[in-house]
Amino acid sequence: MAYHHLVSDAPIGPELIYEGKAKQVFTTDDPDVVLVRYKDDATAFNAQKRGTIQDKGVVNNAVSAMLYEELESIGIATHFLQRVSDREQLVRRVSIVPVEVIVRNRAAGTFAARYGVEEGLELDPTVVEWCYKSDALGDPPMNDATAVALGIATPEQLEALFDLSIVVNDYLLARFANAGLDVIDFKLEFGVDAAGELRLADEISPDTCRLWDSGSGERMDKDRFRRDLGGVEEAYHEVLRRLRETEGEAIDMPARDDEREHVRDLDALGGEHA
């Protein structure tokens, strides 16, 4: 009888820890490292709409790997370690802070609908929103007090999430501008690693950003899938192609003494906002 596998010392192969809508997360030999596998599955409207986008996983793995490597190079701590195949990357395992950070440079999607404004309206200052990361509840919006009162995040974490998100936004605006794309809005997730350090986690891709062609305003992101605009695969590939074409170009980021000045302390912006 082949019971030997029960007592074998052989290393246990990768185990699926979590399967989400867009990615699978596997264990590795290192407890502090997980393997993320990007799928072609696409969902929208809290998974009410489902489909697949061919090669989305390949594109998002490549886009996210490129951007996280670049963000690391400007001093942002991320979970990213290494892209290991077309669809897979190794990342530091983190405990995800259950806050989805939404950064909005222009009105679109639920924000435009909520406030009854036109999509594309410029937002000054840039709007940073928190949502409670809970699929069961549909990721409801929350303010600082809610996050703290419910033990979802500490005031210090919110401060850090805000500052990091502004720097990431500054970088992405300039990086995508080089690629002829306007960053309308995007979602970030952060986590705490084994050493207690806060790191940018999850992904940045056309699934999690709204990207409009700078010239035509054409949507180059998951809205093509959400709204049945067609040319979904082509748009994802085009984003990757442009990012690759402009890799290494100078990034023109605004100088900021204190990121918090940007929005959190509206008084710091001067009289008109006070």
Ligand X SMILES: Nc1ncnc2c1ncn2[C@@H]1O[C@H](COP(=O)(O)OP(=O)(O)OP(=O)(O)O)[C@@H](O)[C@H]1O
- In this chain, which of 58, 76, 96, 160 binds ligand X, going by CB under 6 A? 96
- In this chain, which of 21, 226, 260, 264 binds ligand X, going by CB under 6 A? 21
- In this chain, which of 42, 71, 94, 209 binds ligand X, going by CB under 6 A? 94
Residue 53, contacted partner among Mg ion, ligand X, none, CB below 5-8 A by kind: none
* Of 61, 58, 69, 68, the residue nearest 36 (C-alpha): 61
- Residues 142 and 152: their CA atoms lie apart, in Å, by 10
Q: Is there a contact between 64 and 36 (Cβ–Cβ < 8 Å)?
A: no
Q: How far is the CB of 173 from ligand X (least distance, A)?
A: 23
Contact call for residue 91 and ligand X (CB under 6 A) = yes
> Mind giving me the DSSP string for 151-205?
TSS-HHHHHHHHHHHHHHHHHHHHHHHHTTEEEEEEEEEEEE-TTS-EEEES--S
The smaller minimum CB distance to ligand X, of residues 92 and 262, is found at 92
Q: Which part of the chain contacts Mg ion (CB under 5 A), choosing from 17-25, 142-150, 179-187, 217-225?
A: 17-25
Please give the C-alpha separations between residue 123 and each of 118, 182, 184, 216, 224, in angstroms, as whole numbers: 11, 13, 10, 20, 23
The smaller minimum CB distance to ligand X, of residues 135 and 265, is found at 135
Task: Please state whether the peptide bond connecting residue 125 to the residue before it is cis, i.e. omega within 30 degrees of 0.
Answer: yes
- In this chain, which of 35, 59, 71, 79 binds ligand X, going by CB under 6 A? 79
The smaller minimum CB distance to ligand X, of residues 18 and 265, is found at 18
> Which residues bind to ligand X, rule: CB under 6 A?
18, 20-23, 25, 34, 79, 91-94, 96, 135, 189, 191, 201-202
